[in-house]
Structure 1
Amino acid sequence: MSEDEAVWSASDGSGAVRVGVRCACGRDRAWQALHDPAGLSRWFGDLTPGWSPGCRGRIEIGDGDFFDLSVEELAEADHLAFRWRFLGLGAQSHVRWLITDRPDGSEVTVEDRQPGRTPAETDAMIAGWTDFLGRLARHLRTGETSRYGIRDEIDGTVDLPDAVADPLDPGVVHRWLPIATDGFVPRWFFIVDSDGPRRFRLDDWTDAADEVTFRLAIPQAARPTSCAIRVTRAGAGRRLSFVHAGWCRLDLPEHRARQLRRRFTATWVSAVAHARDLALTR
Structure 2
Amino acid sequence: MKGFTVEHSVALRSDAATVWRMLVDAGRARAWWGRLESDITHVAQELTVATGSSSVYRVWIESVLPGRTLEFASAYLGVGPVSSVRLDVLGSGPVRLRVTETLESADPATVYQVRRLWQHRFDRLAAALTAAPAGPVDGTAGDAAADDSAPIPDISVRCTLDRPGWRPLHRSVLTEWLPLSGPAWPPRWFYVVDSAGPRPFPIIRWRTHFDDLVALGIEAVRGCPPTEAEVAVTATSASLELRVRHTGWSYLDLDAETREVLRDRFLATWQHTLQRAAHV
TM-score, normalised to structure 1's length?
Answer: 0.50
RMSD: 3.5
C-alpha distance in structure 1 between counterparts of 2:43 and 2:72, whole Å: 9
Residues 207-241 of structure 1, C-alpha deviations (whole Å, 9 max, x = no match): xxx878687753xx5459xxxxxxxxxxxxxxxxx
Matching residue's letter, 2:67: A
- State the aligned residue count: 166
Aligned equivalents of 1:149 and 1:117: distance in 2?
29
Which amino acid letter does the alignment assign opposite residue 113 of structure 1? T
Structure 2: which 5+ residue stretches go unaligned? 133-141, 152-188, 190-196, 203-220, 228-247, 259-280
Q: 1:48 to 1:213 in 2, by over 3 A?
A: same
* 2:101 counterpart of 1:108: no
Amino acid at match of 2:7: R
1:65-84 mapped onto 2 (5 Å cutoff): 65-84=55-74
For 2:271, the equivalent position in structure 1 comes to none
Tell me, in whole angstroms, the C-alpha distance in 2 between the residues paired with 1:46 and 1:94: 20
- CA separation in 2, counterparts of 1:50 and 1:81? 14
Q: Deviations over 1:21-58 (max 9, x none)?
A: 11111000101110111110111111113322111110
Tell me the percent identity. Answer: 19
Q: What residue number does 1:87 align with? A: 77
Write the letter of the residue equivalent to 2:85: V
- Contact 1:33-1:40 within 8 A present in 2 as well: yes
| TM-superposed deviation, 1:97 | 0.9
Counterpart pick for 1:249 among 228, 251, 263: 251
Cα drift, residue 146 of structure 1: 2.5
Distance 1:97 1:87 in 2: 21
**Which residue in 2 is equivalent to 1:34?**
23
Alpha-carbon contact 2:82-2:104 (below 8 Å) kept: no
Aligned match of 1:131 in 90, 106, 120? Answer: 120
Task: Quote the residue 2:49 is aligned against.
Answer: 59
| Contact kept? 1:48, 1:59, Cα under 8 Å | yes
Matched residues in 1 for 2:13 and 2:77: separation?
33
Give the partner amino acid of 1:134: D
**Secondary structure, counterpart of 2:251 in structure 1:** coil
Hey, what's the Cα distance between the residues in 2 that align with 1:64 and 1:247?
17
TM-score (norm 2): 0.50
Work out which of the residue numbers 63, 73, 98 in structure 1 matches 2:88: 98
Q: Could you tell me which amino acid in structure 1 is paired with residue 25 of structure 2?
A: D
Alignment-derived partner of residue 183 in structure 2: none
> Cα offset for 1:148?
4.7
| Alpha-carbon distance, 1:101 to partner | 1.0
2:130 to 141, 149, 162: 141
* Paired residues for 1:1-282 under 5 Å: 15-51=4-40, 52-102=42-92, 104-143=93-132, 145-149=144-148, 218=223, 221-223=224-226, 248-250=250-252
Q: Secondary structure at the match of 1:44?
A: coil
Aligned letter for 2:89?
I
Name the structure 1 match of 2:135: none
SS in 2 for 1:83: strand
**Per-residue displacement from partner, 1:84-131 (whole Å, max 9, x unpaired)?**
1112234100001110115x5111111100133212221221111111
**Secondary structure, in 3 states, of the residue corresponding to 1:135?**
helix
